[in-house]
Amino acid sequence: MSMTFTGPDGKPRCRWCAATPEYLDYHDREWGFPVGDDRRLFEKLSLEGFQSGLSWRTILEKRENFRAAFDHFDYDKIAQYTERDVERLLHDAGIVRHRGKIEAVINNARRAQELVQREGSLAAFFWRYEPAEDKLAKPQTASTSEASIALSKELKKRGFKFVGPTTMYALMQAMGLINDHAEECAMRPIAEQARMDFKRPGR
């Protein structure tokens, strides 16, 4: 089976984004493009955790609700959340109401603050796990990697939750740490150029 489909503009796109119109915009504008902003990285980390066991479509459709509910993923604000906030979020029908995942975001906000104190920024930490070219699997053939396993292990050691190797691989795809667009996808060279132009934090 081909790894692409023909998009509305007649150009090939990764097959996964044919499932819903929301996917196409996300695929073309965000997925695989490099992210160096700490708040956006924390949002992606949190949403990938919420996605665990669910479809990305569910998360994408609720993303604006998540942003509103979690102070636009300002981890300094989320780190101050109390049990009252947990209860508020559990009653918010606009998000995924899973106590473990909600509490994980709050926990991870506190761990993010600690990480930033030690590393300078979340971006500097995450971009350290960008794999070498010879360590990359063929696009969209893997769900974990040596780098995602190492990243998961380090985050767990630092007290983060919902950061398993598969979730971290999805994060690596989403934040452009790897370019996992299909080889024939029209967006692959565009994402790759963005990665080439991107100044890696801490280097």
Any idea which residues carry the catalytic annotation?
26, 48, 56
Tokens of 59: 């998360």
Q: Is the dihedral of CA 189, 191, 197, 199 positive or negative?
A: negative
For residues 100 and 111, give the distance between their C-alpha atoms in angstroms, rounded to a whole number: 16
Q: At what angle do helices 38-51 and 165-174 cross, to 10 degrees?
A: 130
Letter string b/e over residues 33-58, b meaning 16 or more CB atoms within 10 A of that residue's CB: bbbbebbbbbbbbbbbbbbbeeebee
Amino acid in the structure at residue 66: F
Residue ranges at the known binding site? 14, 27, 181, 185
In the chain, what is the greatest distance between 2 CA atoms, to the nearest angstrom? Answer: 50
